[in-house]
Amino acid sequence: MENLVKIIIYIHAFFGGIGLISGTVVMVIKKGNAIHKKMGKVFSVGMLVSSILSLVICAFPHHHNSFLLMIGIFTIYMILMGNRILKYKRKNYENKLDKIISGTMLLISIVMIIYGLLPLFSNHGIGILFLIFGFLGGFMSYRDFVLYNNPENYKKWTMNHVGKMVGAYIASVTAFLVAGAGFGGNIYFWIVPSIIGTIYIFSWSKKLNKKVAVN
């Protein structure tokens, strides 16, 4: 059993590494060109495989890791929605599957919040982590439904795409630093990736708003 788990962990780490490298390339190159699109696909596949395997690893006895589980769920959600949001370039796009994905994330977030409240009363630190992820997931899925219910928001597909994909990249970097590199005891490694990612999203938001204003 342990040998099987080790093999899965190695495959998980391999695809996670591919995702991190390709994701970093996507972050720094010019957006919208052929290289960006190809590397974006590599990033998506790498992170999806790595995240799915992280859920599998957490299912094995003595390998449950709440942080890895939550990061895996969030990364899968953001990669799926970050790619599917590109379809909103088309008029009359049917988004039934998108609503299912967002609805599933919303339900999982509610479960996280409920689960987080239980150990929180026992002064168990993981409860706070579940609450943070739960409220964050609930907010993101709520924003998804705001998008679905207002066709005018479909024009903002670029910003939604950037937000979701950068969010997935932040999650993967944080997971690598905290779980892979062993910096989990240092709070800065939990926070800094999110700060840098937020600044990146904000700068892109300003660029896109200027572009829309010019057009």
| In contact, 16 and 72? CB cutoff 8 Å | no
Instruction: Find, among 81, 209, 75, 116, the residue nearest to 155 by Cα.
Output: 209
Give burial (CB, 10 Å; 0-12/13-18/19+) of 90: exposed
Mean predicted confidence (pLDDT) in 134-149: 89
Question: Mind listing the pLDDT tens digit for each residue in 3-23?
Answer: 899 999 999 999 999 999 999
Query: Dihedrals φ, ψ of 213, to 5°?
Result: -65, -40
Q: What is the pLDDT of residue 62?
A: 85
Kindly tell me if the per-residue pLDDT of 134 is higher than 80. yes
- CA-only gyration radius of the chain, Å: 18
| In contact, 113 and 134? CB cutoff 8 Å | yes
Domain spans, the chain: 2-209
Give the pTM: 0.87
Query: Dihedrals φ, ψ of 30, to 5°?
Result: -65, 135
Q: What is the pLDDT of residue 198?
A: 84
Question: Mind listing the pLDDT tens digit for each residue in 60-100?
Answer: 988 888 888 888 999 999 999 999 988 887 766 778 899 99
Q: Alpha-carbon distance 211 to 214, whole Å?
A: 5
Mean predicted confidence (pLDDT) in 30-57: 92
Give burial (CB, 10 Å; 0-12/13-18/19+) of 191: exposed
Q: What is the pLDDT of residue 82?
A: 92
pLDDT classification of 38: cutoffs 50, 70, 90: very high
Least confident of 31-40, 44-53, 77-86, 154-163: 154-163
Instruction: Find, among 172, 203, 185, 137, the residue nearest to 48 by Cα.
Output: 172
